[in-house]
Amino acid sequence: MPGIATSGAEVTHISAHGFWLLLGDEELAVPFEQFPWFKQATVAQLTAVQRPTENHLYWPELDVDLSVDSLRNPQAFPLVSKTVA
């Protein structure tokens, strides 16, 4: 059974280049170039983010799971997506 997150996730800004997530007191950029499956998402789909655990983010309407670490250091996580940017 998953743990309970100590703080949620909130989308604070969306632009043509990506969006920003507030995770507690940390704000992380999510550029569409590095995370292309979000590029065609609606505002409602982007903002429906859940944080089931401290290091796990989930967008149920997009069926996208990400580790928070992959946002902090995307170079350490090779992109695995069939979505075309």
pLDDT digits (tens, 9 = 90+) for 20-49: 999 999 999 999 998 998 999 999 999 999
Query: What is the structure's pLDDT at 78?
Result: 73
**Tens digits of per-residue pLDDT, 43-83?**
999 999 999 999 999 999 999 999 999 999 887 877 655 55
pTM, entire model: 0.80
State the fold for domain 9-76: NE0471 N-terminal domain-like (3.30.2020)
What pLDDT score does 69 carry? 93
For residue 23, how many C-alpha atoms fall within 13 Å in the half-sphere facing its CB? 22
Q: Which two tokens stand for residue 14?
A: 């969306």
Hey, where are the domains in the chain? 9-76
Identify which has the larger pLDDT, 84 or 70: 70
pLDDT at 6: 53
Contact 85, 32 (CB under 8 A): yes
Q: What is the pLDDT of residue 5?
A: 43
41: Cβ–Cβ under 8 A, 6 or more apart, which residues? 59, 61, 62
Residue 76 has a pLDDT of: 80
